[in-house]
Structure formats: structure tokens, C-alpha cells
Amino acid sequence: MKPTRAPQTYRVKSFGCQMNVYDGERMGELLAEQGITPAAEGEEADLVILNTCHIREKAAEKVYSDIGRLVAAGKEKGKAPLIAVAGCVAQAEGEEIMARAPAVSIVVGPQAYHRLPAMIAEATRGRRATDTDMPAIAKFDALPARAKRGPSAFLTVQEGCDKFCTYCVVPYTRGAEISRPFNDLIAEAHRLVEQGAKEITLLGQNVNAWSGEDDKGRRVGLGGLIRRLAVIDGLERIRYTTSHPKDMDDDLIAAHGEVEKLMPYLHLPVQSGNDRVLKAMNRQHSAESYLKIIEKVRAARPDIALSGDFIVGFPGESEAEFADTLKLVDEVRYAACFSFKFSPRPGTPAATMEGQVAADVMDDRLQRLQARIAAHQLAFNEASLGKTCTVLVERRGRHPGQWLGKSPWLQSVHFTGDHAIGDLVEVELAAAGPNSLSGRVRTAVAV
């Protein structure tokens, strides 16, 4: 590699989960500290970071085709960008990327990106740099203060996973479960609110496995952290994602009934409604124990919107076992869901299990599951009609005078009027579709 000029502008392309979105923002803040600014819309950046996801499908292939596209565009313009591959594909396949893609200058894993400035300096000297170490807390300590963003902000409180579901790469790419310290989180939340955040979504691969010591030295779980965050003036809404049923403790459930700022929404993946499949997935819960949690959560917060993740076509899944998933969907009546075809991930136990399900069978099951989920989603939205709720204004809509925001139940709501991003407005929900609602503004809420 030849030495190059130090980059002035960057672009981060994040794939996959919200954690990657958060990491992408943090990398941007780190680069800003070095005087590297975001490339203007439509302009080529000097540094492109592909912040990758490894959870499903041919993620690595997508990365190689993105790299190919960047190289071709660079040749055309006579100016190739520095290319960095970050995220979970970098963690899982860093060495192969370096071997296969000479255009890549930097490979940086999700726990090492605080070292980006040093790696960029290496790369500009013509030396390729790789770091896939996993000292996660060191990363947070090395990051700069939060920059100004929109009214809804992410805050990573926990990373990694010790659950080892047999289909999942996360325990390998993100490492063991770690919780960021209580005081660091309170400080970062204050900073976000000072920068204009009205809503904070707490992030973690197993966010409800978070635990720490509060400012009085007591051991607390996520419920305790939420209760403390709720006293921050100016913070109006708290959400969290993604949870594991095993870590859904009573205090967190009680917080749903007690903490007004905690929004009535819970994303609690179940993956399957069949106990044999759940066992083969190593989920550590049964359909019944999952439903029991849902019952408790609903008792604490009757209007709660529930969402889940599902995998169809896990190895060995029979038609009858799949039917149990449909049954569970009907029992829970989810407000929203994410559903996927099983994707064999290299290195995970499920990838080599007997009874891999044929693609056409998976397609058919996914279609049926998604139709069922869509019906429940529409029913949930229709049941909201006539309610007046607070909507956080997040952005302008497509039509003049139109605004878009989220209801407490995380529904997208559009409405018109004289508002500003970050306003909280009282909206009467007037019409419902499967993916959004429209409403009439009642009054603006003073905050």
C-alpha cells in the first residue's frame, strides 16, 4: 500500500442492528474529534467505513461487493477512498478480508473502534491495520463526549452475549456479556439530554442482563437503572432493546407499571413456539414460560405493545412444530414482529445440524407467519383509533406541513400542523394502516 493524504471527510455505512447504528455514530464522533467531517450528501468521502453485520444471509459477500463498488468508483474518479471494515464481519472474518481485499486498509472489530484514529494514521503511512481485540469497557472510556443528534438517541448500556443460542454468531462476534458502569451511563444520558434528546433507547444484545452498582452502592438491574434515568429532567421517554426472556426479572416488569417515562413497548424475542425447537436452539425457556412472562408484563402494564423475533425453518422444524409458532403468535397478539428464515452461520452448532429445511419450505412458512403477524399488527393499530396519545416529533413527512413521530407504542404517526422536531404533541389517532397511523393534533405538550 502506498502512503496517502490524511482523510478529511468520512462516510459510515451501518448495516444490521441498532447497536451498529450507535457504534456508527460513535465512530463519527471520534473522527470529528480528529477534524474529519462527514462527506456532504452525494460527495465521495476520503474514508469509507463499512460497519457490517454478520447475523444472517451472505453478509460477508455483501461486504466484498461493496468494496468492489468503492474500488470501481475510485478508479473512475481517479481517487480511491481509504476503506475500513468495521462491525461483526470484521470481527469474524478479519483475516480473510485482509487476504481477499487488498483495497481494504483497516479491519476493526466492534470492541476496538476507539483505536480508529491510530489505525487511520497507520493506513495513511501505507501500512494496513487490523484490531479485533475485545476489551469492551476500554472502548467506552476512550470515546469522546456525545455530539448533538435528534430528539431520540441510543445509549449502549450492555454488550455481548453469554446465551449461545445454537444459530447465533453474536456470542462469537461481540464477546461475553459486559455491563457499562452505572455512573458512566447516567453521565452519558445527561449529556444526551443536554444535546436535545427527549427519548433514550437503552441498547444491548441482552440489554436486560445489564447489572451494576448504583450511586448508593446497591446492586441493581435494568429496572433500577431505568428508575434512576427517569428522574433526569428533560428526559421524557425511555425505551430498551433487545431483551432475553431469561433476564426479564420482576423488578424490570414492575418498572413497566411504575415508571411513567418508560414507554409501553417491549421487544421480547421468542424465536419459536415449539419446545423441542426452543431446546434445540438452546433458548433456555419454553413457550409456556415465555407466555407466563408476557402475562406478568401485561398485568403490570395492560396497554403494552409487544414485539418479537422469529426464526422459521430451524433445522428439523416440522410442519406441526411450525404450527406451534403460529399458535403462539395468536396468543400474544404482537403489535410488531421481525421474522427471518434460518440462515446457517459458519461456526455455530445449528449450521451443521441434521434436518436442514429446504428453501421453498422456509419461504412458505415465512410467508404464512408474516401474514399472521401483519393481521395482528393491523388489529393493534386499529384498536388504537380514537385514543389520544403523546407523539414525539422526529422528522418532516413527505407532504408539505406533514410531520412524523412515534406514539408511546412505537407506532409511526403522521399529522400536520405547526411543529418542530423534538416537540411532544398530543395527537388523536384517526386512521390506521398496517405500518403507520395518521392523527389530528390536539394540543402541544409543554415540556
Binding residues (CB under 6 A) for ligand 5AD: these are 55-56, 167-168, 269, 271, 309, 311, 340, 342-343, 345
- Looking at beta carbons only, is 136 or 170 nearer to ligand SF4? 170
Residue 309 or 426: which CB sits closer to ligand 5AD? 309
The least CB distance from residue 165 to ligand SF4, in Å, is 3
- For ligand 5AD, give the closer residue by CB, 46 or 93: 93
CB 312 to ligand 5AD: min, Å: 9
Q: Which does 311 bind (CB under 5 to 8 A by kind): ligand 5AD, ligand SF4, none?
A: ligand 5AD
Based on the shown chain and the rule CB under 6 A, indicate whether residue 244 belongs to the binding site for ligand SF4. yes
**Closer CB to ligand 5AD, residue 115 or residue 345?**
345
C-beta of 63 vs 165, nearer to ligand SF4: 165
Which residue's beta carbon is nearest to the bound ligand 5AD? Answer: 309
Cβ of residue 345: shortest distance to ligand 5AD, in angstroms?
5
Minimal distance, residue 61 CB to ligand 5AD, in Å:
15
Q: How far is the CB of 16 from ligand SF4 (least distance, A)?
A: 12
The one among 98, 134, 161, 328 contacting ligand SF4 by CB under 6 A:
161
Residue number with CB closer to ligand SF4 (47 or 366): 366
**Cβ contacts of 422 within 8 Å, gap of 6 or more:** 150, 151, 196, 198, 392, 393
Q: Does 171 bind ligand SF4 (CB under 6 A)?
A: yes
Which class for 421: exposed (0-12), middle (13-18), buried (19 or more C-beta within 10 A)? middle
> Which of 240/340 has CB closer to ligand 5AD?
340
Among ligand SF4, ligand 5AD, none, partner that 56 touches (CB below 5 to 8 angstroms by kind): ligand 5AD
Residue nearer to ligand 5AD on the CB measure, 64 or 338: 338
Residue 411's binding partner among ligand 5AD, ligand SF4, none (Cβ under 5 to 8 angstroms by kind) is none
205 binds, among ligand SF4, ligand 5AD, none (CB under 5 to 8 A by kind): ligand SF4
Residues that bind ligand SF4 (CB under 6 A): 161, 163-165, 168, 170-171, 205-206, 244
